[in-house]
Structure 1
Amino acid sequence: MAEMALSELRRARGMSQEELAVVLHVKQPSIAKFEQRADSYVSTLRDHIRGLGGELDIIARFPEGEVKITNFGVFSSKA
């Protein structure tokens, strides 16, 4: 499995920050800031990956095996 930073992934997908910003309906500086962050919301990361044409899977690894976490896609921000 390949490992790369978000900025490397974006470049590998052939997209500029400006192009990704258009897809995500944000401004380019937002993409630059996000790519520099060490921590972010799962929903923001998911949107970023989808904007690059991919899907985000969250996998928890335990000694007994792996578990794919599925409830991030159905989270509601309403309290």
Structure 2
Amino acid sequence: MITAEVAVYPMKTSNATNAINNSINTLKANNVSYTVNSMNTQLTGTKAQIFNSLESMFTEAENTGGEVSMVVTITNASK
């Protein structure tokens, strides 16, 4: 299992909230555990689940909001 913290930052859009929410909603289909916080979303799963989820989140935010910046921290260390 690995853990990732991800923050999505839509740029040059008045629709940032929708882009962020839509990207988070993609996680429901990715079979990954996640917790939404005020500044980021924490994901826990296999390496494949995490990387697939990150790609889904980025693609959805890009499709909704255009230009996107995504900040990700990934660890395999146990808590």
TM-score (norm 2): 0.32
The higher-RCO structure (CA 8 Å, 6+ apart) is 2
Which of structures 1 and 2 has the bigger CA Rg? 1
Higher strand share: 2
Higher helix share: 1
